[in-house]
């Protein structure tokens, strides 16, 4: 197994009202390819910030950050957008589906940034729909789906481009117990069967149990790593 995410001496701070607030301080750790890790920690500890940095939607102040062997801190904004389109699958707490697009169209959206033909896109979307068990719902709009179903559509959208890593920020945070269980099972399957590397931020101890490793973050510092 090799490292797919390599983090070295990473720091990030925000400026708030003229004051600099350090959020992440001198973080160093690796994530192995095919791993499924849960990031835990108190609110405001910097979990989302770390996830955003790894996903390439935010920039660190210092340190190195390599994902899939690429130093993403060196990429320009436009290169980073292309890189995300190919390498990162996003799963959000509130699903973030486009309300005016159907389940099918939402899943197809990232493929519009690729060179795939219409029929190839159709094939991919249908496979992904089958994988999340929503083939019969593909013509539905998000408002016509339950939270759990919406999150499964979002997961299909996240894996549609076959990305290097999946990042999930509290993917079950807005779901009831049963739906949450479905989503977690689905993520565990993606990890086990497709070998997807997953980084999941969660507050829920039960959710974290589905991961291979748990990382605790407190005040921007990595505490321990437990299996």
Ligand X SMILES: Nc1ncnc2c1ncn2[C@@H]1O[C@H](COP(=O)(O)OP(=O)(O)OP(=O)(O)O)[C@@H](O)[C@H]1O
Q: Which residues bind other proteins (CB under 8 A)?
A: 52, 55, 57-58, 77-78, 81-82, 84-86, 88, 90, 92, 94, 96, 98-101, 105, 109-110, 112-113, 157
Instruction: Give the contact letters, 42-81, x = binds to ligand X (CB under 6 A), - = no.
Output: -xxxxxxx--------------------------------
In angstroms, give the least distance from the CB of 7 to ligand X. 15
Tell me the C-alpha distance between 95 and 58, whole Å.
20
Q: Does 48 bind Mg ion (CB under 5 A)?
A: yes
Q: Does 14 bind ligand X (CB under 6 A)?
A: yes
Of all residues in the shown chain, the one whose CB is closest to ligand X is 48
> What does the DSSP 8-state code read for residue 80?
H
Tell me the C-alpha distance between 1 and 15, whole Å.
38
> What does the DSSP 8-state code read for residue 75?
S
In angstroms, give the least distance from the CB of 26 to Mg ion. 20
Tell me the C-alpha distance between 150 and 145, whole Å.
6
Among ligand X, other proteins, Mg ion, none, what does residue 99 contact (CB within 5–8 Å per kind)?
other proteins
Residue 18, Cβ density class (10 Å: 0-12 exposed, 13-18 middle, ≥19 buried): exposed
- What the block records as the tokens of 210 is 């589905």
Tell me the C-alpha distance between 218 and 170, whole Å.
17
Among Mg ion, ligand X, other proteins, none, what does residue 23 contact (CB within 5–8 Å per kind)?
ligand X
Of the pair 41, 163, the CB lying nearest other proteins is at 163
First to last CA, the chain: 17
Of the pair 35, 170, the CB lying nearest ligand X is at 170
Helix ranges restricted to H, the chain: 47-54, 77-87, 103-108, 118-131, 147-159, 177-194, 205-208
Among 4, 5, 10, 23, binds ligand X (CB under 6 A): 23
In angstroms, give the least distance from the CB of 165 to other proteins. 13
Q: Which residues bind ligand X (CB under 6 A)?
A: 14, 16, 23, 41, 43-49
Q: Which residues bind Mg ion (CB under 5 A)?
A: 48
């Amino acid at each position: 197994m090799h490292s797919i995410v390599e983090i070295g001496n990473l720091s990030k701070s925000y400026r708030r009202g003229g004051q600099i607030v350090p959020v992440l301080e001198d973080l160093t750790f690796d994530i192995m390819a095919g791993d499924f890790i849960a990031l835990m920690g108190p609110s405001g500890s910097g979990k989302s910030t770390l996830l955003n940095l790894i996903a390439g939607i935010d920039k660190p102040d210092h340190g190195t950050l390599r994902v899939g062997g690429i130093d993403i801190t060196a990429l320009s904004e436009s290169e980073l957008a292309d890189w995300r389109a190919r390498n990162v699958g996003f799963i959000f707490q509130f699903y973030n589906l486009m309300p005016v697009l159907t389940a099918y169209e939402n899943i197809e959206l990232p493929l519009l940034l690729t060179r795939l033909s219409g029929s190839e896109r159709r094939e991919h979307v249908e496979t992904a729909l089958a994988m999340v068990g929503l083939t019969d719902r593909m013509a539905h709009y998000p408002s016509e789906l339950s939270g759990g179903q919406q999150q499964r559509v979002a997961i299909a959208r996240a894996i549609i481009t076959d990305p290097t890593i999946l990042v999930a920020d509290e993917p079950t945070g807005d779901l009831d117990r049963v739906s949450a269980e479905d989503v977690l099972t689905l993520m565990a399957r993606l990890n086990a069967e497709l070998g997807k590397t997953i980084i999941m931020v969660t507050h829920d101890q039960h959710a974290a149990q589905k991961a291979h490793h748990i990382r605790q973050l407190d005040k921007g510092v990595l505490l321990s790593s437990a299996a």
